[in-house]
Structure 1
Amino acid sequence: MPELPEVETVRRGLEPSFTHAKIINVKQNRPDLRFPFPENFQSRLTGREIIGLGRRAKYLLIHLDSDETIISHLGMSGSWRIENTTLGSYYHEKNKLAVHDHLEMVIETPDGQSLHAIYNDPRRFGFILLTKTAELEHHKLLAHLGPEPTGNGLSGAYLNEKLRNRKAPLKAALLDQTIIAGLGNIYVCEALWRSHLSPKRKSSTLGAKSATARKKSELLAQNIRDVIAEAIEAGGSSLRDYVHTDGSLGYFQHRFSVYGREGEPCPECGKAIKRIVQSGRSSFYCTHCQR
């Protein structure tokens, strides 16, 4: 599933084409994805101007001049791509079957270009919703999210407080979206390795009031911020279905220290990386370096 860096990369890829573009036409090729498309979706979008793009956790937010916002979640295999119809050619060759193009929007940019913005989703675990912009922060999908791992809201002091008295394994706590928004399996594994912390460690050990716990919490917060920033810089991680809006791939997977590297040597100590399953998800870590 695309994680925060991948969604942020999609947002940045769409932004130059979408900002202040007018939606000329909307075509739905099926009535639903994971959820049904919003009622009167085509008519509510047609003729509207896109005034900006945002992101909250793993949700792409497309703000319209009608004071409504499109909430797009990529699910397991969703992707957006831009095709240039003015020039009659693609920016990059298609790499998704057209049968899975479930939503197509013709948009006109301020400089007169006519573009196709296409949402493709083979597995249809993604979804596209529409809500009042003023009610966005209270939307049921967004209201209970924790701070972004890219902002100042995530700090050692914050983690130290949030993890206090929590009995869950540290890996599970970090995947709790009410604690940190948008943090997913790949980047938790990488941040824990950088912090020398085992995914099996009790969360409460970082929530203690001791100087050691506060120091570990601060190191973990910094490493979460760093690994997310580096992944965004690299354009995310391309695993299976994920591609950019122009069809190109992300490259952070080439920097993985532990994720997906079961049995390979730890970059720091050379011991074999181990894989365990926690709450149905694979955790990769070094049993020697991470305690």
Structure 2
Amino acid sequence: MKLFKDLWKDKLAALSLSVIAVTLIAGIFAPLFAPHAPGEVHMELRFAAPSMEYWLGNDQLGRCILSRIIYGIRPSVLWVMAALFLTVGIGAFLGFMAGYLRGKTDAVVMRICDVMLSFPGYVMILAVIGVAGAGFENMLLAFVCMKWAWFARVIRTSVMQYAEADYVKFSKAIGAGSLHIMAKHMVPVALPDIAVAASSSFGSMILQVSGFSFLGLGIQAPNAEWGMMLNEAREVMFSRPELMAAPGLAIVIVVSAVNFLSDALQTALNPKLIASQVKPHSQTAVSGAVIQGNGVA
């Protein structure tokens, strides 16, 4: 509750949170919000201008652009979020095991991470897609396979900072098990770092998934996805630039909201950043009081 209050005090963070919430709700309940079916073709309305029935107009096949934007939230945002949760879950589990147990477990997990991180990310994702075949599921699977190692290393570093804390040593002394200690003492303190790392990666994953779909390696027609909509509008980008504007603005708005929220979340969860922001104001107030006091004296 305190976290949401802190975020809500920041106007930019509150706006970003509202944009993300509206986007997620619209994607989950897309049949309720979309005025038409995303694949409904009306060739007589090909390249039609915006109207009361079709707010954003129609594309090259007479399909409702607004409906395709709304349905495109599911692969572009919701499924990317699901892949991110899976990636963070795998990375968090291995990161906790490596950071807390240390020894051989840490050595084995980190060597695997070193091997995974030694390959260029985009090249490996293209390799996985080349082996498994083009498709949205294969692309998300490639992202999970390549990105868990980075989360494992980040979370392991965070866990190692708290593994030698006095309350952890006390729990070990009274005979508490490793799983109990990690669940009760390590997860709560490492959760802010996990949240910041995940939120900062969310926006980049949306851009990357849209980019691969734009190249034709992601979701396939006739399904609606923002990157694929950009690819479909590429052939008429000079004569009908509005077809690229709608999905392009959707990507920019959502990714910007995620990035702004990530920055606000990092500030709210990191007391050092709050202190660094408060400290200059405090020093200014103290200096003003001293000057005023000297003047009165």
Same fold (TM over 0.5): no
More strand by share: 1
Q: Which structure has the greater CA radius of gyration? A: 2
Which protein has greater RCO, CA pairs closer than 8 Å, 6+ apart? 2
Q: Bin the TM-score by the shorter chain.
A: under 0.3
The two structures have a TM-score, normalised by structure 2, of 0.23
The two structures have a TM-score, normalised by structure 1, of 0.23
